[in-house]
């Protein structure tokens, strides 16, 4: 019985300790929520920039070469920022739409 009393006495925590634990939990929760929001904003910005690059490249390609086939529009939509930048540079020297997508259009 005495061992049980010691266990109960040592496992009891004060109300102030419970309050501190709850406050810490709320702080962590707020910090994680804020970090999630920031990551979401960053991903949204990156996606917006990529979509803008793709739209600009499509617009310039259609001005130069005429209507863009659906498969090429899909390729632009799914491209990485690096691919879009490379294709935009290739567009400067490309003689036709296919040359935009070669590794070196010169």
Q: What is the pLDDT of residues 43-90, one digit of tens each?
A: 999 999 999 999 999 999 999 999 999 999 999 999 999 999 999 999
* pLDDT tens per residue, range 17-51: 888 888 888 888 888 888 999 999 999 999 999 99
Confidence of residue 105 (pLDDT cuts 50, 70, 90): very low
* Contact yes or no for 76/57 (Cβ under 8 A): yes
The span from the CA of 19 to the CA of 88, in Å, is 58
Three-state SS annotation for 32-50: HHHHHHHHHHHHHHHHHHH
Tokens of 84: 């879009």
Domain range list for the chain: 15-100
DSSP string, 57-69: HHHHHHHHH-SPP
pTM of the model: 0.66
Reading the block at residue 100, the tokens are 């935009």
């Amino acid at each position: 019985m005495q061992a049980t009393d010691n266990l109960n006495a040592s496992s009891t925590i004060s109300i102030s300790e419970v309050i501190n634990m709850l406050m810490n939990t709320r702080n962590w929760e707020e910090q994680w929520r804020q970090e999630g929001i920031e990551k979401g904003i960053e991903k949204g910005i990156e996606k917006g920039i990529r979509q803008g690059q793709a739209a600009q490249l499509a617009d310039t390609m259609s001005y130069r070469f005429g209507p863009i086939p659906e498969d090429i529009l899909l390729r632009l939509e799914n491209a990485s920022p690096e691919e879009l930048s490379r294709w935009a540079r290739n567009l400067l020297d490309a003689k036709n739409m296919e040359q935009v997508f070669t590794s070196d259009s010169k």
